Amino acid sequence: MSDSKTSENTILEEILDDLQKRFSANIISIFGIGSYFDDSLPKDWIKNDLDIIVIVKSLEPIPKPNWTDVRYEKKEIDDHKVWLGFNTLDAYQDKQAFETQSFSNYEWSLLDLKLPENSKLLYGQDIRDQLPDISEVIFDYDDILVRSLYHLDKSFKEAIVSKNMDASMQQFSKGVFKFGFYLCIYFDKSFRFTSIRAIANKIEQLSKQGIVNEKALEFVKDSIFFRRTRYFTKEYIQLRSSFILHVFSLIGKGKLHRKMKFEELVTFLENTFGGLSHLIEFVQNIKKRYYQLKSE
């Protein structure tokens, strides 16, 4: 067994031991979600983020930040970023209750836990059969789309404010994958997977069928390459601009679940997560450049 694998196991054991020591009587289940727990990904996939969902009987014993009722914890162990989300089983059975307990999209979160392909049971009871049927799940396309836009906006913030280009690229790749998921569930209402490999395979299928533009597949492939190497195959700033232009063009042409022209798009961005200021500036610069070229 390699040292890195031993280290990963030790980190996970440390997290689980700590959770059991602090909340053992309250814990129903612990699930690992996201790429860290996805064994279908290539061996060279860089897995530095651990996303863990803790299903508890009650949220009362769980500490919370002063500014929200959502129970979560963020920590760093070695070079790994750990995110712990605490939810009750009842919340997964009722969307409105879930939205009081989590920042995440309800449908995405439900798929994560419901299917073994999307998550890994790490501790406790397997509660999947107690979760709602996902065959008739109704997706909130607005909410899923804006979560992709949120990560794109954050990619600007990380680069401009935090001066952290690696974090910026990480956020960009998250935005690409979430937009890919959006395309999958919009164009194939039966799609139920949240893993990056499943999303990439579906985008490739949709591209071959002529349902989505080949550019969508190229952006996903570029982001996959980044997750394996920490590099993009193209110049990053130009790649990010091209992707955002691609998304906004689809929205402007009505190729997605809603059609928005300039003013409506700006309003949409202003009302998303308290305002996506960097994307708003990006859109305004596009408009400014358009009229400059028109007047030349």
- Taking alpha carbons only, the member of 61, 33, 59, 58 closest to residue 47 is 33
Sheet containing strand 72-77, edge to edge, reads 72-77, 80-88, 49-56, 27-33, 119-124
Residue 296 pLDDT > 90, yes or no? no
Percent of the chain past pLDDT 90, that is, above it, reads 90
Question: d(Cα 167, Cα 155) in Å, to the nearest integer?
Answer: 7
Determine the average pLDDT of the residues in 232-256. 97
Tokens linked to 159:
């680069």
Mean pLDDT over the full length of the chain? 94
Q: What is the pLDDT of residue 292?
A: 66
Q: 227 falls in which pLDDT band (50, 70, 90)?
A: very high
Cβ contact 284:276 at 8 Å: no
Q: What is the pLDDT of residues 31-50, one digit of tens each?
A: 999 999 999 999 999 999 99
Q: What is the pLDDT of residue 170?
A: 97
The region of weakest confidence among 21-30, 157-166, 215-224, 287-296 is 287-296
Tokens linked to 182:
């959006």
Q: What is the pLDDT of residues 196-222, one digit of tens each?
A: 999 999 999 999 999 999 999 999 999
Q: 9 falls in which pLDDT band (50, 70, 90)?
A: confident
- Torsion 32-198-99-127 (CA) sign: negative
DSSP string, 179-191: HHHHHHHHH-TT-
Cβ contact 31:137 at 8 Å: no
Question: d(Cα 215, Cα 207) in Å, to the nearest integer?
Answer: 9
Q: What is the pLDDT of residue 2?
A: 41
Determine the average pLDDT of the residues in 240-259. 96
Give, as one character, the DSSP assignment of residue 100.
H
Residue with tokens 């396309």, as numbered in its chain = 141
CA distances from 52 to 28, 63, 73, 81, 263 (A): 13, 16, 10, 11, 39
Residue with tokens 């790429």, as numbered in its chain = 35
Q: What is the pLDDT of residues 136-160, one digit of tens each?
A: 899 999 999 999 999 999 999 999 9
Question: d(Cα 249, Cα 243) in Å, to the nearest integer?
Answer: 10
Q: What is the pLDDT of residues 98-136, one digit of tens each?
A: 999 999 999 999 999 999 999 999 999 999 999 999 998
